[in-house]
Amino acid sequence: MKNIKFYSTNLKAEVVDFKSALLKGLAPDKGLYMPKEIPTFTKEEINKFSQMEYYEIAFEVGRKFLHDQIPDADLKAIVKDAYDYEVPLEKVYDRKYVMRLDQGPTASFKDFAARMMGRLMQYYLDKEKRELLILTATSGDTGSAIANAFYGLDKIKVVVLFPENEVTNRQRKQMTTLGKNVQIIGLDAKFDDCQYLVKDAFSDSELDYLNLSSANSINIGRLIPQIVYYFYSYAKLRKSEDEEVIFSVPSGNFGDMMGGMFAKRMGLPIKKFIIATNENDEFPKFVKTGNYNKIEPSKNCLSSAMNVGHPSNLSRFIALYDGVMDETGLISKVPDMMRLREDIYSTSITDEETREMIAEAYKKYKLLLEPHGSVGWAGLQRFLQEYPEFDDELCISLETAHPAKFPEQIIDILDFDPKLPPSLEGLEEKEESYDKVLNNYEEFKKYLINNY
Ligand SMILES: *Cc1c(COP(=O)(O)O)cnc(C)c1O
């Protein structure tokens, strides 16, 4: 197996090993870390996945990247501890499935990445007797997944910024009821503003003493775990060795989709990716026209975790197709648009279509979707309508959150209150606490210096 090193998408920072990429998060040149080489599985290796548990596949995927970094036994213990919950594959009709990534402790797919990353960071920090301050912005689900994944770890403190008007009560409560090493900050602003404050803090040398690290989807430690469920679902659902698969991924910052792109490069026979966004449609437009224009400010849509006007992982995606995009969205080398268009189909789903699909899916198939999963499923339906030749293919649409996280919408559309998963029971009664900061970098910096 090859030793995998990581380079920055801005191409100015040094190439580093996994540990540095994980603990740094963002590269010093503000680029994102990418593996210099993507390891591959043989067909025989992939065949064996059909007989494996989720955590065993997670071990095989992780080992391809980390074998020279973490001893097998330690890595196995980490994945076994991180993935102790179900990954349901729900048949909808024919060869069409929904993969529910909502059974983790915060009932969103972000648990998959956060739990693994938290354990990897803890592993290194323990060895080196160091401490870290995780600083992260959330549009709802990242923050709670990160806060829960790091809660109680003694080497790591966590500060999460969230836009007060863009998260649901339940999403907020999943963060603000924790306490201990977890501090939550509300901003009367948009998610993008939260993200800018975080980015500014990272590039501020006066804050170096805090040992800041990011847990946003820009951290490579979050992308590697997100490769696994693509392999898992395919291995469990394929009928023959040669069967190919189509995935539909409801997307915001494109961390989820990047996991799938890596899976494809690693040898998973993915015929097509459907990348479905909400009304923040900068990406589908880019795929269509080749021109990229970020949306500022981002639009507030029902699928709030996807209200992203400039996806933070986009420069990684561009790099996969041999292009270069900097952190501002400027493309200095055009990616291979032909190849990109062969691999993916991207479409934007309006809020109205999102609502209609929640109603239709339930009525037609008793398929219960929340707004994010509905965007993915609607994207798949649109694709199949446009390209009926793919009708018989194995298609897997990702459901990225539990419907019970969006009770207001579900009641409004379907007229019933979805049952809470066990992980969310008792949340309503817990006491909340969080601070507020003005949407202003100097204010935010003062807050950090005073508190840490
Ligand atoms: C974060 C999130 C997404 C979008 O994932 P990205 O990796 O940012 O594209 C979709 N659905 C839910 C529920 C999320 O929390």
Q: What's residue 98's pLDDT?
A: 98
What DSSP character marks residue 16?
B
C-alpha 26/C-alpha 202 separation (Å) is 8
Q: DSSP secondary structure string, 60-128?
A: HHHHHHHTTTS-HHHHHHHHHHH--S---EEEEETTEEEEE---STTSBTHHHHHHHHHHHHHHHHHHH
- Judge whether 3 lies within some domain: no
The top-scoring range by mean pLDDT among 109-118, 144-153, 335-344 is 335-344
Q: What's residue 334's pLDDT?
A: 96
Percent of residues in the chain assigned helix, strand, coil, to nearest 5: 45, 15, 35
pLDDT tier at 216 (50, 70, 90 boundaries)? low
Q: How far is CA 144 from CA 108, 290, 306, in A?
A: 9, 35, 15
Structural tokens at position 97? 């499935």
Dihedral pair phi/psi, residue 187, rounded to 5°: -125, 140
Dihedral pair phi/psi, residue 314, rounded to 5°: -60, -35
Task: Output the ligand 1 site: residues, CB below 6 A.
Answer: 108, 110, 141, 217, 250-257, 305-306, 372, 400-401
Atom of ligand 1 nearest to the CA of 110: 15
pLDDT tier at 348 (50, 70, 90 boundaries)? very high
Å from CA of 2 to ligand 1 middle: 31
CB 425 within 8 A of CB 406: no
Which pTM value belongs to this model? 0.92
Query: Ligand 1: which of 306, 312, 348 to mutate, judged by most atoms within 8 Å of the beta carbon?
Result: 306
- Judge whether 350 lies within some domain: yes
- Judge whether 258 lies within some domain: yes
pLDDT in tens, 292-323: 999 998 899 999 889 999 999 999 999 999 99
Query: Ligand 1: which of 253, 262, 307 to mutate, judged by most atoms within 8 Å of the beta carbon?
Result: 253
Nearest Cα residue to atom 8 of ligand 1: 253
Mean pLDDT, all residues of the chain = 95
Q: Span 145-165, mean pLDDT?
A: 92
Domain harbouring 370, CATH code: 3.40.50.1100
Q: What's residue 153's pLDDT?
A: 85
Residue of 345, 342, 217, 372 lying closest to 275 (CA atoms) = 345
Instruction: Catalogue the long-range contacts made by 357-363 (C-beta closer than 8 Å, 24 or more residues apart).
Output: 357/381, 358/409, 358/410, 358/413, 358/414, 359/413, 359/414, 361/92, 362/414
- Judge whether 340 lies within some domain: yes
- Judge whether 409 lies within some domain: yes
- Judge whether 186 lies within some domain: no
pLDDT in tens, 31-75: 999 999 999 999 999 999 999 999 999 999 999 999 999 999 999
pLDDT tier at 215 (50, 70, 90 boundaries)? confident
- Judge whether 237 lies within some domain: yes
Q: What's residue 335's pLDDT?
A: 97
Dihedral pair phi/psi, residue 162, rounded to 5°: -135, 150
Dihedral pair phi/psi, residue 115, rounded to 5°: -65, -40
Exposed / middle / buried, residue 220 (Cβ in 10 Å: 0-12, 13-18, 19+): buried
Whether pLDDT at 173 is above 70: yes
For residue 184, list its beta bridge partners.
160
Q: What's residue 268's pLDDT?
A: 98
Whether pLDDT at 143 is above 90: no
pLDDT tier at 256 (50, 70, 90 boundaries)? very high
Q: What's residue 217's pLDDT?
A: 66
Q: What's residue 364's pLDDT?
A: 98
Q: Which domain holds residue 272?
A: 87-107+222-414
Whether pLDDT at 425 is above 80: yes
Q: Give the whole-number percent of the chain exceeding pLDDT 90.
A: 86
What DSSP character marks residue 273?
E
- Judge whether 163 lies within some domain: no
Q: Span 181-185, mean pLDDT?
A: 96
Q: What's residue 82's pLDDT?
A: 95
Total number of domains in the chain: 1
∠ at Cα 246 (381, 377), nearest 5°?
Answer: 30
Q: What's residue 170's pLDDT?
A: 85
